[in-house]
Amino acid sequence: MSKNTKFPPGVSGNPKGRKPGNATAQKLRESIAQDLPDILSTLTRLAKSGDVQAAKLLMDRCLPALKPQASAFTLDTIPSDTLATTGQLLIDSIMRGDVNPDTGAMLIGALSNQARIIEVTELSERITALEVGGSNG
């Protein structure tokens, strides 16, 4: 047993605590489950008769929104390209329709994160060089 653990693994800190399944949410689920066929039937009938809220509820729960799918593509860059140049090439690809906007936004975010990593690395190297240079004088 480690110093930070009050109870050994597998032993409850509150053995007389609440029994599983007694939670209010669990009771509510069980209550609704009994009436679920009638609830769904009523919602379907309301949706068919033009109740937009009922239709939205059914659609949101039964047919969730489609998530965008990323597709593979090639971005023609050369090793000497800067992050700014790569970003512009990416934006041009989005504008031409070669890259979908969701994927493009994700990649531009990745370029931005890469720029921050480079900036922090360069600053760290400069500080280290200053410290080494300062200790020699």
User: pLDDT tens-digit profile of 85-121?
Assistant: 999 999 999 999 888 888 899 999 999 999 999 999 9
Distance from C-alpha of 134 to C-alpha of 137, rounded to nearest angstrom: 6
Confidence of residue 28 (pLDDT cuts 50, 70, 90): confident
pLDDT of residue 4: 58
> Which phi and psi (to 5°) does residue 92 adopt?
-60, -40
Find out whether 39 and 73 touch, Cβ atoms under 8 Å: no
Q: What is the mean pLDDT of residues 50-74?
A: 83
The residue assigned the tokens 């041009």 is 92
- Buried b / exposed e over 88-111, threshold 16 CB at 10 Å, is eebeebbeeeebbeebbeebeeee
User: Are 114 and 83 contacting, i.e. CB atoms less than 8 angstroms apart?
Assistant: yes
Question: In 3-state terms, the chain is what percent helix, strand and coil (to 5)?
Answer: 60, 0, 40
pTM here is 0.47
